[in-house]
Amino acid sequence: MVKEVNATNDRNEQYLPAKRPSVIPEYFGSVIAVNGKAWPKHRVHRAVYRLTIINGCNSRFLALQLTSNGSPVPPFNVVMGDRGFLDEVSTQNHLVVGPMERYTVLVDFRVARPGSEILLKNFGADVPLMRKKSLRPCGDGNKCDRPTNDVMMFAVDGTVDNSYEIPEVLPRPRPYPFDRPVAGRRIISLVEGEDRMDRLTLLLNDRPFSLNAAKDLMPKFGTSEIWCFNNTTPDTHPMHVHLIAFKILHRVAHGRHGKRRKIPADKDERGPKDVVKVYPDMTTCIKTSQFDLRGPYMVHCHILEHEDYVMMQTFTIV
């Protein structure tokens, strides 16, 4: 569980700084903690380890990377997303984890030198994530020397353990059938505005929150639907849907002069999920699993400050 803490006495670093309004648009702490401990050091053998990473930060998108001073560094072998196994193992050097996204990765520390120290770094900035391409990995024009660039350290000892390998094929069957016919399509727009006190408001479909679902958010029991999140704001929002799991179908980039470009889901997103990164200037489409309980549920942004004021709508399964 990666979460940030406020480790300063500076009044301006407090959650609600002096002379600020009672609502803040986002929050970024000064130090990153893992399982409640700031910058922990964990001893590992030269073996394959399974790490389940949960981003518990309020507003921060973690952009993770392993680095070392002199030792070869293993990649992340992503095997699971929020709700289950990916279609196939995704081997990658960087992993972007939005607030409340979960990823399970296998890391083969056998490639590291005995006695080496492997750092888990965050190359995400202390500001809201805008476009994905604004992220610069450590060493690639990014010095990564801020306190929040450090997440934790793995100290690799000399013991080699070959008990586990990276699997070539991931287990089936999948718990969520995504092959049901589509019974409805909905567009949910992400809209930014200001309230009477000049505080940032973020809304879904430009509506205030109500426990009663609007007429256009009432899917039928026993069906599956395609929902498209149309992001009109400059920031990336981790959109979360309660009850169901979903599959990311594609994103449509809004180019100049009305040009549209379809982008497939990233390799590490090709599994059942319940949080999706909704990038700016794009429409992100998901297919839901079957709505298999009746009643009211929530769809909301998982940046906590956005959710609180009030990037959330009720959908009711009827």
Answer for the pair 166, 207: CB distance below 8 angstroms, yes or no: no
Of 305, 308, 251, whose CA–CA distance to 280 is shortest? 251
User: In the bound complex, what is the minimum distance in angstroms from residue 153's beta carbon to Cu ion?
Assistant: 31
Which residue among 60, 247, 300, 306 contacts Cu ion (CB under 5 A)?
A: 306
Cβ proximity to Cu ion, 109 vs 279, nearer residue: 279
Establish how many alpha carbons lie within 13 A of residue 36's alpha carbon, considering only the half-sphere containing its beta carbon.
0
Does 203 bind Cu ion (CB under 5 A)? Our answer is no
Residues in the chain: 318
Task: Judge residue 175's burial from the number of C-beta atoms within 10 Å of its C-beta, 0-12 exposed, 13-18 middle, 19 or more buried.
Answer: exposed
Quickly count helices (H) and strands (E) in the chain: 1, 22
For 241, the token pair is 């849907």
Number of residues that bind Cu ion (CB under 5 A): 4
User: In the bound complex, what is the minimum distance in angstroms from residue 128's beta carbon to Cu ion?
Assistant: 8
Place of tokens 């995400």: 124
Cβ proximity to Cu ion, 97 vs 303, nearer residue: 303
Cβ proximity to Cu ion, 29 vs 99, nearer residue: 99
User: In the bound complex, what is the minimum distance in angstroms from residue 237's beta carbon to Cu ion?
Assistant: 3
Q: In this structure, which amino acid lies at residue 311?
A: M
User: In the bound complex, what is the minimum distance in angstroms from residue 204's beta carbon to Cu ion?
Assistant: 10
Residues 69-128 that bind Cu ion (CB under 5 A): none
Cα radius of gyration (the chain): 21
Cβ proximity to Cu ion, 116 vs 231, nearer residue: 231
- Residue 160 burial (CB count, 10 A): 11
Q: Which stretch binds Cu ion (CB under 5 A): 80-88, 150-158, 215-223, 299-307?
A: 299-307
Virtual CA dihedral for 125, 9, 2, 154, nearest 10 degrees?
Answer: 90
Please give the full DSSP string across 34-81, using - where no structure is assigned.
ETTEES-EEEEEESEEEEEEEB--SSPPEEEEEEESSS--PPEEEEE-
User: In the bound complex, what is the minimum distance in angstroms from residue 308's beta carbon to Cu ion?
Assistant: 10
Residues 209-268 that bind Cu ion (CB under 5 A): 237
Q: Which stretch binds Cu ion (CB under 5 A): 63-71, 114-122, 180-188, 302-310?
A: 302-310
What is the DSSP code (8-state) at residue 281? T
Cβ proximity to Cu ion, 284 vs 290, nearer residue: 284
Cβ proximity to Cu ion, 59 vs 314, nearer residue: 59
Which residue among 53, 119, 303, 317 contacts Cu ion (CB under 5 A)?
A: 303
Cβ proximity to Cu ion, 95 vs 303, nearer residue: 303
User: In the bound complex, what is the minimum distance in angstroms from residue 228's beta carbon to Cu ion?
Assistant: 16
Residues 169-198 that bind Cu ion (CB under 5 A): none
User: In the bound complex, what is the minimum distance in angstroms from residue 3's beta carbon to Cu ion?
Assistant: 18
What are 90's strand-pairing partners?
Answer: 78
Kindly list the residues in this chain that would bind Cu ion in the complex (CB under 5 A).
Answer: 237, 301, 303, 306
